[in-house]
Structure 1
Amino acid sequence: MKKLRRVVIVVVLLGIALGAWLFLRSNGTPPVSREASKVDAASLKDPVLIAKGQYLTTVGDCASCHTAQGGAHFAGGRVVGTPFGDIPAPNLTPDRETGLGDWSFEAFWQALHAGIGRQGELLYPAFSYTSYTKVSRDDALAIFAYLQSLAPVHQTSKPLGLEFPYNVRNSLKAWRALYFKEGEYQADPAKSAAWNRGAYLVQGLGHCNECHIARDSLGGMRSDQALSGGQIPVQNWYAPDLSTQANGGLEGWTGQDIVELLKTGHSAKGTAFGPMAEVVAQSTQHMTDDDLQAIATYLQSLPARPQVALEKSPLDITSMVNQGAKTYADRCAGCHGKDGNGVAGVYPPLNGNSSVNEPTGINAIRVVLLGGFPPATKGNPRPYSMPPFAQQLSDSDVAAVVTYIRQAWGNKAPLVQERDVIKYRQTPVN
């Protein structure tokens, strides 16, 4: 609560300090009417354009937020949790009262590109316009055409679940001044077509940086460390660093490793669990091989990361590691091997695994407690899952075995403690 109050104070002070300048800079964007559209309505019915839009909405994983469990596709109803409260994802079907049926393309483009709603209201960045701003206008038109081709579903959005001052949209002016830079992706002429395609997909429609980066107390991304890994707010999973270079989260991964993970949910280097499993199931497995290879090309170009020295624990953890080694031999070695290298194509390796070595230990703790469930994909329709051990292992056992795994073989990650296990044992499943 103290931290939350500090955040509130900072937000309010920022709003006051920047208010005058922002007012001079912009008095707000006027609402966009259907008459403002420069797009011929007949062109939105082009089957080629609609098919392109269907593919792009899949690449953007739009269904993950805009489809409630068991609900109609793209009809909203799902709530996006944030540290500042709940934000309902809106209905994207062409229902005139509750969806996009009365929207023009210009209004849609304004929302996607500038984060501004049809009535001129500022949109909350739970909608990833901070990344979608890089999407080209042509691609945005295709997405809009596809959404307009859907059967309309009448479904009203749930009320906004934010408290003061976060429910005051004008306070977003200060946030946007600090964290939002509007602008389409600009190709780098010095790079290959594949690299630019990969950069466009990762930075824009794929919005990878929305999860794979650390955020500050205001929810802003540290843009100087793009794709360097970070804890996903509210969901309590850690999205790893995506660099394949020295000290990167994917150090040693080949382009083929990346393609296989995105296409099947499984590779020789690791398996998709948690939120990434849903991304693979609903989005990346359906991408073309060329686009997957382009993403791999771009990720392999990310720079090496600074080496982080492993702090020496003030505690003697010898007994803890020994306890963890015994638990591992009893419970884990049968699948993952005594050497931690797993079984190719079946059980993922733990030695060098990015989810094992991430800084916090969250992922390994949660998988031990809750089990690991890779996505079922066309390329891996019957994946092997890991059973949960929450009912079989004590907090001490879990802390010990996770610490052992994070420091065995070639792994050099910090220890975890019982208090960490207690915290995530009590965290709701997301």
Structure 2
Amino acid sequence: MKTFLKWAAGFFTLAIAAVALVWVLNGRDEVDVRTPVAAAAPSDSLIARGAYLARAGNCQACHTVQGGQPYAGGRGIATPFGTVFTSNLTPDTKTGIGAWSSSHFWRAMHNGRSKDGRLLYPAFPYTSYTQVTREDSDAIFAYLNSLPAVAQPNQPHALRFPYQSQAALAVWRALYFSPGVYQPDSARSAEWNRGAYLVKGLGHCAACHTARNALGASEQRLDLAGGLIPMQNWYAPSLTSPYEAGVSDWDSQAIVSLLKNGVSPRASVTGPMAEVVQRSTQYLSDADLGAMAQFLKELPASHTAPPQPAAIKTQGDSVERAAKLYEQHCAQCHGAKGEGIANAYPALAGNRAVTMGQAVNLVQIVLNGGYAPSTAGNPRPFGMPPFVLALNDPDMALVLTHIRQSWGNKASEITAVEVNRIRANSGR
């Protein structure tokens, strides 16, 4: 009995210590919202700056439901743990942020807490936004308060047990979230630091371009080294690998063009990145885009091996059928030898998007079509039609393997089973 009591006492002590640790870790660098902050009426320039910064953070994309009022929330963000619904950011006093102070908003950005102190789910990327400065947070808040108020109650999240509990979220934050404003690197140029601030903070690029663990936390040791976007079945390629989307050998202007126009002499964007360019980066200044380009060019290269030569898996009639399928469906735009057409249809020969180890994007584009964003610099982009109804799984696997193993391309086979899996998941 005494032994049992000792064990029970020890367990109880450890439990109390764990709860206390979680409490302390969740209170790090906490913002004081009780002390009023004197602030002058927002000027037109502050509101304009806030609008620019909100564009840099692509805030409207998530906080606007399709066909709904801008920033009124209600968009469902699917996660492996259930659906999180975005909140109303208009200045309505009952359903939006009209009763918030700038300190409440700063705490949401910096600490991931709502006005009432409730912990926010990291579908709102405060794990990145915590790096934003108070001045920029106040400017965004001023802009949001200049918008028309929309009375639209927030929808409750639809998360599975135990992920819907604040206790589970507190443990997650204790493990994976540490608040802190971006600190400039004195050994780097002002341009590099500005780029780092935008990419790591408002741009929250790591939200897609970094792999996540089983609990949905970004693997910081693989920062920007690529990751499968949860529930979207798209792969955000590594920004550090020269064999995926690394740009260390690119001219800065080519990177700026890609972020501003969606196309450049070196590549074009499709999928989720097309929405980012269309809604966000095309509106950034050339100076800020140049700063982002400089930061991306100087990312430490990941130690990935080049694609290894792959043996041709198709044989006999399959080889002929694969070539025939390419001639019938692809050659008119992409060329008989995968050379493409400049400023219209990308070359397939030597294309990293074609030869990446992760083939999910390639299958997605052929299934559902590939479209660069419509931007001021490229208002009528060329696109690729979907082949979801034109090609069955075996034929799509044949033609994609043909493309990945022709004209000097040396990538692995794509199987019909893989195509079928992606086809089934792409309708989510």
TM-score of the superposed pair, with normalisation by structure 1: 0.89
Moved more, 132-141 or 330-339: 330-339
Moved more, 329-338 or 60-69: 329-338
- CA shift, 1:189, in A, is 1.3
Partner Cα separation in structure 2 for residue 179 and residue 205 of structure 1: 19
Partner Cα separation in structure 1 for residue 108 and residue 408 of structure 2: 47
Asked whether the 8 Å contact 1:93–1:101 carries over to 2, the reply is yes
Asked whether the 8 Å contact 1:250–1:354 carries over to 2, the reply is no
After superposition, the Cα gap between the structure-2 partners of 1:16 and 1:158, relative to the gap in structure 1 and judged at 3 Å, is: farther
Asked whether the 8 Å contact 1:37–1:105 carries over to 2, the reply is no
Asked whether the 8 Å contact 1:122–1:170 carries over to 2, the reply is no
Partner Cα separation in structure 1 for residue 277 and residue 287 of structure 2: 16
Partner of 1:324: 322
Of 48, 64, 69, which residue of structure 2 is paired with 1:67?
Answer: 64
- CA shift, 1:311, in A, is 7.0
Partner of 1:51: 48
Moved more, 18-27 or 152-161: 18-27
Partner of 2:183: 186
- CA shift, 1:21, in A, is 4.6
Q: Read off the aligned partner of 1:288 and give its amino acid letter.
A: S
Asked whether the 8 Å contact 2:243–2:356 carries over to 1, the reply is no
After superposition, the Cα gap between the structure-2 partners of 1:22 and 1:361, relative to the gap in structure 1 and judged at 3 Å, is: same
Partner of 1:230: 227
Partner of 1:338: 336
Partner Cα separation in structure 2 for residue 335 and residue 16 of structure 1: 64
Partner of 1:154: 151
Q: Quick check: 1:129 aligned with 2:129? A: no
Partner Cα separation in structure 1 for residue 359 and residue 110 of structure 2: 36
Asked whether the 8 Å contact 2:307–2:356 carries over to 1, the reply is no
Q: Quick check: 1:273 aligned with 2:270? A: yes
- CA shift, 1:25, in A, is 2.2
Asked whether the 8 Å contact 1:36–1:104 carries over to 2, the reply is no
Matched residue SS, 1:125: coil
Partner of 2:257: 260
After superposition, the Cα gap between the structure-2 partners of 1:370 and 1:164, relative to the gap in structure 1 and judged at 3 Å, is: same
Matched residue SS, 1:22: helix
For residues 326-384 of structure 1, the C-alpha deviation after alignment (integer angstroms, 9 at most, x for no partner) is 32222112211233232121112223434323332111101111111211111111111
After superposition, the Cα gap between the structure-2 partners of 1:89 and 1:203, relative to the gap in structure 1 and judged at 3 Å, is: same
Q: Quick check: 1:22 aligned with 2:18? A: no
Aligned length: 413
Asked whether the 8 Å contact 2:22–2:174 carries over to 1, the reply is no
Partner of 2:370: 372
Structure with greater Cα Rg: 2
After superposition, the Cα gap between the structure-2 partners of 1:138 and 1:27, relative to the gap in structure 1 and judged at 3 Å, is: closer
Partner Cα separation in structure 1 for residue 323 and residue 230 of structure 2: 32
Partner of 1:420: 418
TM-score of the superposed pair, with normalisation by structure 2: 0.90
Matched residue SS, 2:77: strand
After superposition, the Cα gap between the structure-2 partners of 1:372 and 1:333, relative to the gap in structure 1 and judged at 3 Å, is: same
Moved more, 93-102 or 312-321: 312-321
Q: How does 1:23-422 map to 2 (within 5 A)?
A: 23=22, 25=24, 36-40=35-39, 42-43=40-41, 45-243=42-240, 246-250=242-246, 252-308=249-305, 316-318=313-315, 323-422=321-420
Moved more, 347-356 or 166-175: 347-356
Partner Cα separation in structure 2 for residue 406 and residue 349 of structure 1: 12
For residues 375-411 of structure 1, the C-alpha deviation after alignment (integer angstroms, 9 at most, x for no partner) is 1111111111111111111111111122222233343
Give % identity.
Answer: 47
